[in-house]
Amino acid sequence: EVQLQASGGGLVQPGGSLRVSCTVSRFSFDDIAVGWFRQAPGKDRERVACIRSGDDSTYYEASVKGRFSISSDKAKNTVYLQMDSLKREDTAVYSCAADPAYSDGYYYTCPYESKYRGQGTQVTVSS
C-alpha cells in the first residue's frame, strides 16, 4: 500500500520560517507528481505547490510564490516545502498528495487525481 507521510508542522511567529516534509513509501519515486495542499478551518482545500520528481519542474500558487519553495530528495523519497515569511493566513493543515507524473500522453507537474494522499500536519502562524 502506497503511503505518504507529512511531518514538520508546528507553531511559528509571523515572518518566521518552517519546513514540512512528505515522505513517500511503497511507490516508485522516479517520476511522480507531488503536491502540497492546505486546508484552513471553514475553507476549501487549496493547492499550494507541486513538483515533478522526474525533472524537478515546479509550480506555485500566486499566494505563496516568492515565499515558499518546494524541492525533492530522491535518495530519501521525500518532498520538502520550505515556507518563509509566513503570514497568519498561512495557518492550516498541510498535507501532500501524489500521482504518477505520466498519464494519457501528458506529463504532469501537479497531481491530477490525488490518488495517493497522506495525513496532514498542522502549521500555525501566530504571535
Q: Which three cell numbers stand for residue 97?
A: 498528495
Q: What per-residue confidence (pLDDT) applies to 106?
A: 96
Q: pLDDT tens digits, residue range 91-123?
A: 999 999 999 999 999 999 999 999 999 999 999
Residue 69: per-residue pLDDT: 98
User: Terminus-to-terminus CA distance in the chain, angstroms?
Assistant: 40
Q: What is the pLDDT of residue 104?
A: 95
Q: What does the pLDDT read at residue 28?
A: 82
Cα 103 from Cα 33, distance rounded (Å): 11
Closest CA to 68 of 80, 57, 52, 84: 84
Distance (Å, whole) CA 93 – CA 112: 20
- For the cut 90, the answer to whether the pLDDT of residue 66 exceeds it is yes
Render the burial of 12-36: b for 16+ CB within 10 Å, e for the rest.
beeeeebebbbbbeebebeebbbbb
pLDDT score at 53: 94
pLDDT on residue 73? 93
Task: Give per-residue pLDDT as tens, 1-58.
Answer: 788 999 999 999 999 999 999 999 888 888 999 999 999 999 999 999 999 999 999 9
The Cα–Cα gap between 22 and 6 comes to 4
**pLDDT digit string (tens) for 72-98?**
999 999 999 999 999 999 999 999 999
62 residue type, one letter: A
